[in-house]
Amino acid sequence: MAGSSMGDEDNPVAINVTPLIDVIFCLCVFFMCSFRFKQLEGKFDTWLPKDKGNKNTVIQSDMPKEVRIALFWDKVAGKTIRRMGDREVRSDEELQNLIRDAYRDLVLANHPDAPVTIDAQGAVPWNEVMKVVNMCKREKIEKIEFALGAPPPQ
Amino acid sequence: MKKRKKAVVEESVMCNLIAMVDIMFLLLLFFMLGADMGQRELAELVLPKADQVKPEDKKADVKDVYSTINVHHRYEEAGFTCAINKANGVCREPDHWRYAIRGREYTQADILPELQEAAAEAMETEIDPKAGQLLSRRKVLIRADLSAPFGDVNKLIELCGQAKLYKIEVAAAQPPPDEIGK
């Protein structure tokens, strides 16, 4: 095709390429208009426990056996408030450090299987929950639980 | 004396289209290979970014029985518009969020039969000793928009559990290398 060095005199049967170009042009326009770059996606395994369903967890002992992060949706400001214990966490770095320290304490107290519970209100954007999941994964914490319906902050 | 006629040289002004055809073929190939025609793209949503996600393993995924559920905001259409979502805000109207499986939309009230049907298509052959019942081996990938309410995603996970689907995965976008760690 393109590399052909034959002249017109050598090629008595001329091929009309105009319809071919038309078709390719149409296809090009179609693909250009519908084109979207593939976004690289990944996934987190969040397999459900087989032996327990949804339950209301009440912590009764003095020593907490989980890392609990509460997320509240501030309707007026339109932003998420993050709390760990009584402390309001404002930056991602601070939350990352708090998760690391809390989990390390649990490991030292012989609770390496202690979960991180993300206790979020229903209105909290999924992005904020995934941020916390991502932070836990950075600390190699595999056991992450979701809880719904955190009470509003006092 | 007769004047000699000059020989007329016919010039060919035909444009050589072969190079153009070559380039167009290359462009066509690029767009065809680059286009993502996957069914999951039937829902327009923006995934949250997370640098710790496991990249997709398409070879392994082919062996598994998969369902993808998208959680997205209702699209703009005749008779429906949402000013907050249009302005890229966080819409918290419960009626504005939908689940979608293969382009078909569901609400919290009507998705359970669909999940049960999907689960029944790929049940394990043996009773799970931990659960004490037959579970589905189908994997469910939840692709939720970054501003989707957590309550809706949590409800979907709960419904999957009810339908005996326990292999749940949540999708996130891998950030570009220059954004990792920020």
The answer to whether A21 contacts B20, with C-beta atoms less than 8 Å apart, is yes
Separation in Å, CA of A148 to nearest CA in chain B: 7
Task: Report the pLDDT value the prediction gives residue B21, as an integer from 0 to 100.
Answer: 83
> Where is average pLDDT lowest: A84-93, A105-114, B10-19, B117-126?
B10-19
User: Is A6 a residue whose pLDDT tops 60?
Assistant: no
pLDDT over 50 at B135, yes or no: yes
Domain at A67-148: CATH code: 3.30.420.270
Please write the tens of the pLDDT for every residue from B68-108: 899 999 888 778 888 888 888 888 888 899 999 888 889 88
How many pairs of residues across A and B have Cβ atoms under 8 Å apart? 169
User: CB under 8 Å to B180, separation ≥6 — which residues?
Assistant: B51
Residues 104-163 of B with CB under 8 A from A: 128, 130-131, 135, 141, 144-154, 157-158, 160-161
pLDDT band with cut points at 50, 70 and 90 for residue A8:
low
Tell whether A78 lies on the interface with B, counting CB pairs under 8 A: yes
Rounded CA separation B122/B108 (Å):
23
User: H/E element holding B160?
Assistant: helix B150-162
Q: What is the residue extent of each domain of chain A?
A: 67-148
Asked if pLDDT for residue A9 goes beyond 80, the answer is no
Q: Is the pTM of this model over 0.80?
A: no
N residues, chain B:
182
Query: What share of chain B has pLDDT > 70, as a percent?
Result: 84
| Better-predicted residue by pLDDT, B96 or A9 | B96
Q: Which residues, other chains included, contact B107 with Cβ-Cβ below 8 Å and sequence gap of 6+?
A: B98, B99
Q: Which of residues 5-44 of B touch A (CB under 8 A)?
A: 17-22, 24-25, 27-28, 31-32, 34-36, 41
The pLDDT of residue B149 is 93
* pLDDT at residue A134 in the model: 92
**Residues of chain A found within 8 Å of residue B11, distances taken between Cβ atoms:** none
B55 touches chain A (CB under 8 A): yes
Report strand pairing: A87-89 vs A41-45.
unpaired
Q: How far is B153 from chain A (nearest CA, A)?
A: 8
Q: What is the pLDDT of residues A25-81, one digit of tens each?
A: 888 888 888 777 767 778 888 788 776 655 555 555 555 678 889 999 988 888 899
pLDDT higher than 70, residue B4: no
What pLDDT is recorded for position A133? Answer: 92
Whether the Cβ atoms of residue B38 and residue A27 lie closer than 8 Å to each other: no
Check residue B74 and give its pLDDT.
87
Residues 6+ apart with CB under 8 A from A63: A109
Per-residue pLDDT, A95? 92
What's the mean pLDDT when you consider all of chain B?
83
Nearest CA in chain A to B29: A28
Q: How many CA atoms lie within 13 A of B141 on its CB side?
A: 19
Rounded to an integer, what is the distance from CA A74 to the centroid of its chain? 22
Are A48 and B21 within 8 A, CB to CB? Answer: no
Task: Please indicate whether residue B181 or residue A96 has the higher confidence score (pLDDT).
Answer: A96
Residue B103, sorted as left (phi over 0), alpha (psi -120 to 50) or beta, turns out to be: left
Nearest Cα neighbor of A99 from A73, A66, A129, A146 is A66
CB A127 within 8 Å of CB B48? yes
Instruction: Specify the range with the lowest mean pLDDT, choosing from A92-106, A117-131, B23-37, B127-141.
Output: B23-37
Q: Cα(B56)–Cα(B36) distance, rounded to whole angstroms? A: 15
Does residue A92 have a pLDDT over 50? yes
CB atoms within 10 A of CB B166: 22
Nearest to A31 among B28, B56, B157 (CB): B28
Name the one residue in this structure whose structure tokens are 């008595």.
A12
Lowest mean pLDDT among A39-53, A78-92, B33-47: B33-47
pLDDT band at A114 (very low <50, low <70, confident <90, very high): confident
| Cβ atoms < 10 Å from Cβ of A13 | 4
Chain B residues with beta carbon closer than 8 angstroms to that of A41: 47, 53, 56, 171-174
Tokens 């932070």 correspond to: A135
pLDDT at A2: 45
Q: Residue A120: enclosing H or E segment and its boundaries?
A: strand A116-120
> With an 8 Å Cβ cutoff, is A99 touching chain B?
no
Kind and range of the H or E run holding B139:
strand B136-144
Q: Is 90 exceeded by the pLDDT of residue B182? A: no
Among A90-99, B72-81, B103-112, B118-127, which stretch is predicted with the lowest mean pLDDT?
Answer: B72-81
B13 C-beta neighbours (distance < 10 Å), count = 5
Burial of A74 (0-12, 13-18, 19+ CB in 10 A): middle
Question: Alpha-carbon distance B156 to B112, whole Å?
Answer: 9
Question: Residue A28: its pLDDT value, please?
Answer: 85
- Return mean pLDDT, chain A: 80
Which among A31, A42, A148 has CB closest to B53? A42
